[in-house]
Structures are given as C-alpha cells and as structure tokens.
Amino acid sequence: MFTEWIEYINRFLMWSGTLFEFWTYVWFQNFITWCRKWAWFDTYIYGKSIDLEDFVRNPAEVFRDTYFPFIIKGVKPYSIFNLRCGYIQAKRNESPNSWTVPMGNRKFVWEGEKWTILDLRVFNPWWTKFCNAAFFLQFAVSLWHYIPIPYVSMCAKIAPWYFQFGLGWGPEVRSATGIENCAVLCAKLRLVNEKTSNEAILNNTDIKGYFEGTI
C-alpha cells in the first residue's frame, strides 16, 4: 500500500512538472517571438534570458533591476532566522559542488556522524536565498533608512524532486547590475526534477541530492 502511494505521488509530480513547462508549447514560443519584435519588451522583459526556459523562470530581470520600487538600493540585509533540516555535511567530500554555507554564527546545530539533523541560525548578516536540505526556511529583512523590507524563502526536497518558494525583496549583496547591497522584488514558485531539468546549464553551481550547498 505504501509503495502504491509513492508511485501515485511520483506520477502527480511528473504530470505537474510537465504541465507548467510553458517554454515547450508552440503557441507560447510564437507569442514570445512576436513580442520580442517590440524593442522595449526585448530589452526589459526578455532581457538577459538565454532561452525560453530561462525566461519563464526569471522574466523581466532587466526591468526589475532598473526601476524603483522593484529594486531598492543602499540597504543593510539580515537573516532573522534560517532553518535547515536534513543535509549531508560538506566535510564528507562526497559531492564535488558541496561546500559549507556560512549562514551565521548565532546557531543551534544537531549533527550526526554524516547528516545534520537540524541547523538553526538567528539574527545574522545575510548570506544567500536558498540552501540545499530536505527542508529549508528563512525569513530576512533589508533595512532601508531603518524601514524593514521583508523576504521569505523555503525549499522542500524529496530527491530528485524539490519545491522552492520565495517572496518579497530578496537581498543582493552584489547584484547582476553591479550594485552592492540592494533588495530586489522577486517571487519564486518552482517544482523541479533535478535529473531532467536544465539545471546544469542554468545553475551549474547548484548542489544535487541532500549535500550541503546552495540551490
């Protein structure tokens, strides 16, 4: 019975992952090709996208990185808390991309011989949006003239599938525009199979499995 439920869940994930791959639909390809004839759309909306999949994942990056309030410059970013549950420590050296992510010094960590069961960090300088683990949750703020600007990120993983959610003004210590310490409005809602997606090209530093690193 348990095995059957796992199979049903796997089929649903495969179906839902395929359903939202808009870049594979001919009507969508034709629509974006038509829109890109408009110079403003091509510059600010399609922007730096390397292909249609990249565009669907990260649309309007140039527009977002150019205009207030989508980008707020001169902020001081902090991770109020970040929680990781279930990851293989980088010191095991079993994955080439695995590395120790310095998420802060104020921490409570419960480690096993190989796995870190729980890793909680509170009130630390900002480091990154997403860490690789079976479960990751973070709440951060960027202080702009003492005004707190929020950001929340979450990742849940049953390898090779993982789900990512992010919403708010994500801190960028050094953004793609070269501006230091800014907060950029962003939203992420992704369901990914790391075995079949184009991650090796789009995010070649992402870590697979449950090894410590970023994703």
In a domain, 45, yes or no: yes
Query: Is residue 210 in a domain?
Result: no
Supply the pTM of this predicted model: 0.73
* 20 confidence band (pLDDT: 50, 70, 90): low
Give just the sign of the alpha carbon dihedral 23, 27, 28, 34: positive
Q: Which domain holds residue 169?
A: 71-202
**pLDDT bracket for residue 199 (50, 70, 90):** low
**Residue 150 and residue 83 share a domain:** yes
The single-letter DSSP state of residue 46 is: I
Q: What is the pLDDT of residue 205?
A: 72
* Domain total in the chain: 2
- 58 and 80 fall within a common domain: no
Peptide bond into 59 cis (omega under 30): no
Residues 49 and 77 in one domain: no
109 with 166, same domain: the answer is yes
